[in-house]
Structure 1
Amino acid sequence: MRYAKCIIIPDDEGLHPVDRRIEAHPDISRDLLHNVNLLADETIVTLYQFTGDRDALKSILEDSSRVRKYQLSGVDDVIHAYIHVEADDRLVGLLSMLTKFEFIFDTPLEFTRRGGLCVTMIGDVKSFQKAVPDVPDGIRLKLLKTGSYEPDTDRLYSQLTDRQQEILRTAVDMGYYDVPRAVTHDDIGEELGCTGGTVGGHLRKIESKLLSQVVP
């Protein structure tokens, strides 16, 4: 079993008008795309993870005629969003290509800082080359690497934002989780150039996010 890791790079129109509006909002960050499915009627259902202003996100979803329905959950500024949208030709074309060549995504999919979507596609290695001509106009695939596929042992860690990963790595490296504890929030904050309160807030969110998925 093989995989190809690549970045999906859309043009200025984005992958879908609703996604483009969310991306452009200054108070909403697209963190992860946990799932995306093309239905038989060529509508699309997605499961996003956002960080930011919940009311701003609701306003975008309610104002769009392309959104059939949505549901939001999560705590604080972390938002999980189930969104069912009307089809967009380029996204339908991309998902149809994946079905045609029998690819599956290794989820979650990660958004890049430049607006792309980093994906790992699992399938037959020969199909990767055959699929390139079927990529819809306005979308470019940048291949990062290929290899033999093994399940991602860093799945939980990958669900954290870049800033959360940085804070958690620093806390572990400095001994915050040692017994006895070697450093305080203030020590970590001094290392990262922020306050101890900021560090404590991030660590509580990180622990809530990870432990809620570990404990049955």
Structure 2
Amino acid sequence: MRYATVVIDPSGGDFQPTDRALALDSAVSRESIQQVNLLSDGTAVSLYAVRGNLARAEAIIAEREAVIDYDVSGDHEGLSYIHFRPTPTVERLLALVQDNEVVLQTPIDCVDGGGFRVTLVGDDATIGNVVDSIPDPLSVSLEGIGEYHPDSEQLFSVLTERQQEILDAAVEMGYYEVPRQATHEDIAAEVGVAAGTVGEHLRKVEGKVLSSLVG
């Protein structure tokens, strides 16, 4: 079984206005898409993990004409359910997964600038066909390809993009070595956040990883 991880940049194409509005608002951070499905009536549903001013996120979603229904839950971090009418580009993108024998690994990481980091699992030929069929207005760059190891992939996938970034920095800087080679302040300076934020995210990382291992 093989995997390919690609980053899809929608900046040059007709992507979803709701997602673009969330991506461009400084008060809101799109962390990941937990699930997304194209429905038989041509509409779609998605479940976002969002962070920041969730009242602002709700206001942005409510203003979009393509949104049929929505719900936002949580405080500083939470989930946003959106039932929407997809653009032709998004509809074609979602149909690619339904029409081919590949698995779209979730959650899907949201990246700065409105893009997405997507991992597809299947055989090389089918993955290649799906990637080649991604609509032309979208820019696609390959990040990785190889044998799929579900245990390690799934364990890392329970973390948000920010948590992955902080964990990567912590490991590289020796935070988990004995004796410890880095502090929260060192990691904060490396990734550009407050030391308290580093501590908060590492506690969540450790909780998620341990829960996954025990489960």
**Unaligned segments of structure 2, at least 5 residues:** none
Please say if 1:33 is aligned against 2:29.
no
Secondary structure of 2:9's aligned partner: strand
Q: CA deviation at 1:55?
A: 0.8
- Counterpart CA distance in 1 for 2:84 and 2:116 is 19
Alignment correspondent of 1:188: 184
Q: Displacement of 1:32 after TM fit?
A: 1.1
Pair 1:118–1:202, CA change in 2 (3 A):
closer
How well do the aligned residues superpose, as a CA RMSD in angstroms?
3.2
CA distance 1:107–1:96, change in 2 (3 Å)? same
Number of equivalenced pairs = 209
Larger radius of gyration: 1
The answer to whether the Cα contact below 8 Å between 1:168 and 1:203 also exists between their aligned partners in 2 is: no
Shift of 1:114: 3.9
Deviation of 1:81 (Å): 1.4
Counterpart contact for 2:102–2:121, Cα < 8 Å: yes
Aligned: 1:174 with 2:170: no
Q: Distance in 2 between matches of 1:50 and 1:121?
A: 23
Moved more, 134-143 or 47-56: 134-143
- Matched to 1:37, the amino acid is N
Structure 1: state its 5+ residue gaps.
Answer: none
Equivalent position SS for 2:160:
coil
Deviation track 1:67-120 (CA, whole Å, cap 9, x = no partner) reads: 11122233x421211211112110001111222222221111112234321111
Give the residue type in structure 2 aligned to 1:145. G
1:168 Cα deviation (Å)?
8.1
Residue 7 of structure 1 corresponds to 7
Percent identical among aligned pairs is 31
Task: Output the TM-score relative to the length of structure 1.
Answer: 0.78
For 1:188, give the aligned amino acid: H
In the other structure, the counterpart of 2:66 is: 66
Cα drift, residue 33 of structure 1: 1.2
For residues 44 and 118 of structure 2, the distance between their equivalents in structure 1, rounded to whole angstroms, comes to: 18
Question: Separation in 2 of the partners of 1:164 and 1:150?
Answer: 18
Change (3 A) 1:91 1:168: closer
Mapped partners of 2:167, 2:99: distance in 1:
41
Native 8 Å contact 2:166 2:198 kept in 1: no
Return closer, same or farther for 1:213/1:154 CA change in 2, 3 Å cut-off.
same
Assess if the C-alpha contact under 8 Å between 2:167 and 2:205 holds in 1: no
Contact conserved, 1:7 with 1:141, CA < 8 A, in 2? yes
Question: Do the aligned residues in 2 keep the contact of 1:167 with 1:199 (CA within 8 Å)?
Answer: no
Q: Residues 90-101 of structure 1 correspond to what in structure 2 (within 5 A)?
A: 90-101=89-100
CA distance in 2, matches of 1:5, 1:115: 17
Alpha-carbon distance between aligned partners in 2 of 1:126 and 1:190, rounded to the nearest angstrom: 44
Residues in 1 aligned to 2:89 and 2:194: alpha-carbon distance in whole angstroms: 44
Matched, 1:150 2:146: no
Answer whether contact 1:32 1:111 (CA < 8 A) is retained: yes
Which residue of 1 is the match for residue 116 of structure 2? Answer: 117
